[in-house]
Every structure is written in structure tokens, then in C-alpha cells.
Amino acid sequence: MNSNSKIYVAGHRGMVGSAIVRKLHQEGFNNILMRTSSELDLRNQQAVQDFMKQEKPDYVFVAAAKVGGILANNTYRAEFIYDNIMMQSNIIHNAWVNGVKKLMFLGSSCIYPKLAPQPLKEEYLLTGLLEPTNEPYAIAKIAGIKMCDAYRAQYGCNFISVMPTNLYGPNDNYSLETSHVLPALIRKFHEAKLKSEPSVIMWGTGQPRREFLHADDLADACYFLMQQYNEEGFVNIGTGEDITIKDLALMVKEVVGYEGNIEHDLLKPDGTPRKLMDVRKLHNLGWKARIDLREGIGKVYQEFSQLYAGGL
């Protein structure tokens, strides 16, 4: 990529897409194509075809997706598989039709089998059953990886895929119905602190382990791989370290300054027992995460406090 390359970032208002846009601006790229979902419905085949034909981007980051936590994934199963497959398929196919030089597809660590060995190596894909609660979303993301590989094999397209671990950062979703665990905990502890509530209720046992990567670290890794990686398959992006949900809750509690207790709702699901990325492939390519988890949560909480004061 050079500074006047035309770069399309699909999903630029989401946490991942906005982080990629920030990174590109920092690196001196200003010819960035962006469309909101109201301006361009990525599920609409004709609309995407017309957009790509007119704009002819040189490079594409596919960060547009319908995302959510356990509750959202399990409740909106049809939407999660349909919306994601339609969006990514329209972009990937039309990237080939219009001669895009390179495309990066962003997936999710939920593509791995529920009981895959830990840490999760890239070659564990499709070696076992998926976690039932997010299977439709996972299948959509697996289809995206395989589609990029198929277009590489048949048409010679330089389409690559990356699999981020659990993410947090600016522009996260703090809805208690559809958010992931970390932003949900931040909101719960913040509201409990404001209302002087005696306790905060956590889903499940708190024993599952999760890895968390700041969105700015992800964007840095994506920028690095867009220049350094040109192969089929995909690359895990993570820190290579994980933490129990209970310890995460205690960390958030401390950052927020909440002094009450934590109670567990054991009727709610835990989800996958552990999801730790094996990031040796990424490390061997020459990239490592930089932002410490506690430091990152502190930054995110500052932003959330301002958002909350202004009305979420």
C-alpha cells in the first residue's frame, strides 16, 4: 500500500473498523473509502456491485459484521448467519470482479471447535463441533475464510484472513443485551457504583478463561499483516495470554472503583471453557501485542465514563 492507494474499510464505524481507520490515518493514508450501513447495505448484492464498480478500491479491509455476545448470538441465530454471509460474500466476490489488489477478511476466535486443545492453533479449524450458542456466526466466518482461499486458488486473488481474539476498545458496544463480556462488566460495575448497589450479578461461574486484545493493537497487527502476509489460510491475532472471567471482573471492579460484592447467576451459561490463541505464527512473522490489559481497561473506562455522562 502507498499513501495515495484507495482503501475501502467496510464497517468503519464499528470498534474494529474505526481502529483500522485511525491506524491508516496515523500512517499517512487519507484516501479511505467509508460508507455507513444506511448509505450502503452490504447485504444487498446489487448495491455492493454498483459501489465497487464505481469506486474501484485498491485495498479492502472486511471489518463489517453483525456481532454480539452469547445472548445475541443465541437469540438472533438466523440474522447472524444470513447477514454475515451476505455482507462478506458480496464484498469478497466484487473485490475479485473489480481487481482489488489485496483484501483482508476479519473473522473471530469462535470459529474454533468448542473443545479444541489449548492454545488454539490455526490448524485446529474444522476438527470438531462448534460452541452451539454461536454456531451460526462461526459458520459464517468459516465460510469467509474458505471463500478467500477459494478465490486465491481459482483466480489468484491476494485475499488473506485474520482471526482476532476477544476485543475491546473505543466504539465498543455497551448494550447489556448484545454486548460482549468486558463492556458488559464495565457498564454493570459503573451503574452499580453510581446507584450504590450492594452487589453486581455476573453470568455463570466466572471460571472460563478468555484472552483480550485492545482494538488499537488489532489494527496495528492488521496493518502489519496487510504488508507482510500473502498466503492462504489465516493468522491468529491475540496476546497469547488469558484470564478467568472472575479475575477480569475483579480487575474491572478495581478500575471502576466499585466497592460492593460480585454474585454469580449460575442459571446463565458459561460458554466455551477456554479460548486462548496460539500466536506463534504471528510472533514469527514479527508482530507482538503492546497494550497491557489493565492499562487498556483504564483507557476504555475513561472513554465509557464520558459516553455514559452524555447518555449512551
pLDDT in the model for residue 233: 95
User: In the sheet where 234-237 sits, what is the strand order?
Assistant: 32-33, 7-10, 59-62, 102-106, 159-164, 234-237
Residue 78 burial by Cβ neighbours in a 10 Å radius (0-12, 13-18, 19+) = exposed
pLDDT in the model for residue 8: 98
31 is annotated as contributing to ligand binding: no
271 is annotated as contributing to ligand binding: no
pTM: 0.93
282 is annotated as contributing to ligand binding: no
Where along the chain do its domains lie? Answer: 7-169+212-240+275-292
pLDDT in the model for residue 271: 76
pLDDT along the chain (312 residues), means of 10: 95 96 97 97 98 98 89 90 98 98 95 93 97 94 98 98 95 84 94 97 93 98 98 97 97 98 92 89 98 97 90 72
172 is annotated as contributing to ligand binding: no
CB atoms within 10 A of CB 263: 11
pLDDT in the model for residue 272: 74
pLDDT in the model for residue 226: 97
* Nearest by Cα to 293 from 220, 211, 237, 236: 211
pLDDT in the model for residue 273: 83
| 137 is an active site residue | yes
What is the CATH code of the structural domain delimited by 7-169+212-240+275-292?
3.40.50.720
From 59, 137, 151, 223, the catalytic residue: 137
pLDDT in the model for residue 193: 97
Cα–Cα distances (Å) from 193 to 229, 252, 262, 287, in that order, read 45, 12, 12, 38
164 is annotated as contributing to ligand binding: yes
